[in-house]
Amino acid sequence: MNRIDPWWENMRDGMPVAERWAYFDHAAVAPLCGPAQTALKTWADDMAAVGDVHWHNWRRQVEETRQSAATMLGAQTAEVAVIRNTTEGINLVAEGFPWQPGDNVVTLDSEFPSNLYPWLNLESRGVETRLVPAENERVDLNRVEEACDARTRILTVSWVGYATGWRNDVAALAEIAHRKHAYLFLDAIQGLGVFPLDVREIPIDFLAADGHKWLLGPEGAGLFYLRQEHLALLRPIGVGWNSVANAGDFGCRTLELKSNAGRYEGGSYNLAGIAALAASLQWLSSFGIEKISLRLLDVTDRLCRRLEEIGADIVSCRDRAHKSGIVSFTLPGKDPQTIKQQCLDREVVINCRGGRMRVSPHAYTDENDIDRLITALTAVNK
């Protein structure tokens, strides 16, 4: 791996987990980065000491999160809502869209449940969910287009598949959706923070992600994006005191929704989680998402070569256009769950999905981490 520009070593210094563990499970729940850890501790100390005396200072972290997310996405701040998780963002669209009986949604049969169940839940409203086959998450764009018709309202896909790490061509999917007069929803949780995305260049209509994977933040704090022109399209759900233009004026009895994505934020914020997410967004952006992307792909390329040397069968697509930070593989004749536990006993963290092993490093992963993984896998493969 390239050491000419060892910027990632500074990143590694900001990951407390790296002091002990070889961590290859960022696609599930990532360890907190140092800045996020500090933000959480600072919030807890402040709340324990003075209660809500400094509430407005912490409330400003919501706007910092919104601004950092907008910058990362190339969006306007008015187009970003700060929410709890990806599932909440998906449901904002699934439940808020003006469906008519006979409409349909097109998605992939390989989607994570959170990007499947909310759409299937629309059956009682006469909305069909069409599943496009995607073996090992490999997407045939022709089949996606064939599944869309004049009653397709939304095409919803994951940017990166959770099981094998197939990275979709988002621009091509947006083109298909819009040519079919439909909207594109992107579940971005497995790509945001490690791959660049500009919603001005790629006209995504809706997007959701939360911070506990590649963004190195906590669970319970996430992001929702919608294009400004779609603001009146969705019926807000979960409306509360924080949804209105005069939020904080508790005596007002007039419903005037915010003229931005904040109308979807509803009630009280997870201020602790949001402060941590703001810190992680700013920290990641300081390194540059493009640099993180190149480094991560370099790490996974190296990792795949080492896995193949010990006889692993790589399931993930490793074409440059579709590879990601997720690598799925098998060791012939070995039980993935047993291997996962035996790796954990050696302080190497991996996971299993779809009956296979799944490893997901980050840009701070180094050669020593890979050596530890290979040593652990070799020991259990004897």
pLDDT in tens, 79-98: 999 999 999 999 999 999 99
Q: What is the rounded average pLDDT of the residues 196-206?
A: 97
DSSP conformation class of 287: H
> Is pLDDT at 6 greater than 90 in this prediction?
no
Residue 262 CA to residue 77 CA, distance in Å, equals 10
Asked which of 286, 318, 348 is the last residue of a domain, the reply is 286
Whether 1 is covered by a domain: the verdict is no
- The confidence band for 380, taking pLDDT boundaries of 50, 70 and 90, is confident
For residue 376, the one-letter residue type is A
- Could you count the other beta carbons within 10 Å of the beta carbon of residue 248? 9
Whether 129 is covered by a domain: the verdict is yes
Answer yes or no: pTM beyond 0.85. yes
- The confidence band for 287, taking pLDDT boundaries of 50, 70 and 90, is very high
Percentage of residues in the chain having pLDDT higher than 90: 97
Residues 6+ apart with CB under 8 A from 237: 91, 92, 95, 96, 264
Which pLDDT tens digit goes with each residue over 52-65?
Answer: 999 999 999 999 99
Is the separation of the CB atoms in 194 and 325 below 8 Å? Answer: yes
- Could you count the other beta carbons within 10 Å of the beta carbon of residue 259? 12
Looking at the fold, whether 208 and 351 belong to one and the same domain comes out as no
Looking at the fold, whether 212 and 138 belong to one and the same domain comes out as yes
Q: What is the rounded average pLDDT of the residues 40-47?
A: 98
Looking at the fold, whether 223 and 296 belong to one and the same domain comes out as no
> Is pLDDT at 1 greater than 60 in this prediction?
no
Return the pLDDT at 302: 98
Is the separation of the CB atoms in 310 and 381 below 8 Å? Answer: yes
Token couple for 53:
């005396």
Looking at the fold, whether 166 and 20 belong to one and the same domain comes out as no
Please count the structural domains in the chain: 2
Range of the domain at 337: 7-32+288-380
Return the pLDDT at 2: 47
Residues 6+ apart with CB under 8 A from 251: none
Looking at the fold, whether 166 and 44 belong to one and the same domain comes out as yes
Return the pLDDT at 52: 96
Residue 245 CA to residue 250 CA, distance in Å, equals 12
Q: What is the rounded average pLDDT of the residues 203-223?
A: 98
Token couple for 358:
């799944």
Q: What is the rounded average pLDDT of the residues 334-349?
A: 96
Looking at the fold, whether 280 and 300 belong to one and the same domain comes out as no
Question: By three-state DSSP, how is residue 81 classified?
Answer: strand
